[in-house]
Homo-oligomer: A and B are copies of this chain.
């Protein structure tokens, strides 16, 4: 081949992931990555066509946590539900990196495996291809979207988060009941419970709706 090759896609991706999860995805710049790797920033372009390609690789890196292999005695609906819950959990674990994968699918290894697993399970559940694809889109929309919403808050410690929810409910309760009667009546239970609960509730409702429209 060529020269010692101090760099490699893997080494770059790992450095980028460390940098992004430490300083935030917005700090993941070509020059900062050069500092992190102790090499010239533009050396990156020997391994990636542009930053977008790098972002996709980094985004895919942490999706490896989702286990996509079929489990014996697991029904399709349980499998789909678990895949979505794990995908969400992986994104919430790395909220800063999740910003890289939610706007566009990476179309790389780990994400492809998740997509394949979801489509496979839906088909096993009796969805024919066009219907399975529509169901897949709906599930991803809810799962990834919900993770995007909750990313910021889930980064906070539990006590802080609970305090935040409480202050929201207080704000709702302080409203003029004449102008906002429905909010006032609901102020005690708005944003009660965890975001995980709210997501799984929505997921179950969506799944039920999908089953009813299955074809």
> Which of A116, A120, A137, A141 neighbours the largest number of chain B CB atoms within 10 Å of its CB?
A141
List B contacts of A206 (CB < 8 A).
138, 142, 202, 205-206, 209
Please name 17 pairs of A and B residues whose Cβ atoms are closer than 8 Å in the assembled complex, sorted by A.
Answer: A105-B191, A107-B171, A112-B175, A115-B183, A116-B180, A119-B186, A136-B186, A138-B201, A138-B202, A142-B202, A145-B145, A145-B146, A145-B148, A205-B206, A206-B209, A209-B210, A212-B212
In this assembly, does A151 line the interface, its C-beta being within 8 Å of a C-beta of chain B?
A: yes
Q: Is A30 an interface residue (CB 8 A)?
A: no
In whole angstroms, what is the CA distance A19 to B148 when docked?
24
A77: shortest Cβ distance to chain B, in Å? 13
Q: Assuming the A-B contacts A183-B112, A198-B138, A206-B206, are A107 and B190 also in contact, with contact meaning beta carbons closer than 8 angstroms in the complex?
A: no
Interface residues of A in 157-215 (CB under 8 A from B): 164, 168, 171-172, 175, 179-183, 185-186, 189-191, 198-199, 201-202, 205-210, 212-213
Contact among B137, B182, B190 for A201, CB-based, below 8 A: B137
* Segment at the interface with B among A38-46, A58-66, A78-86, A127-135: A127-135
A198 to B206, CA, bound (A): 14
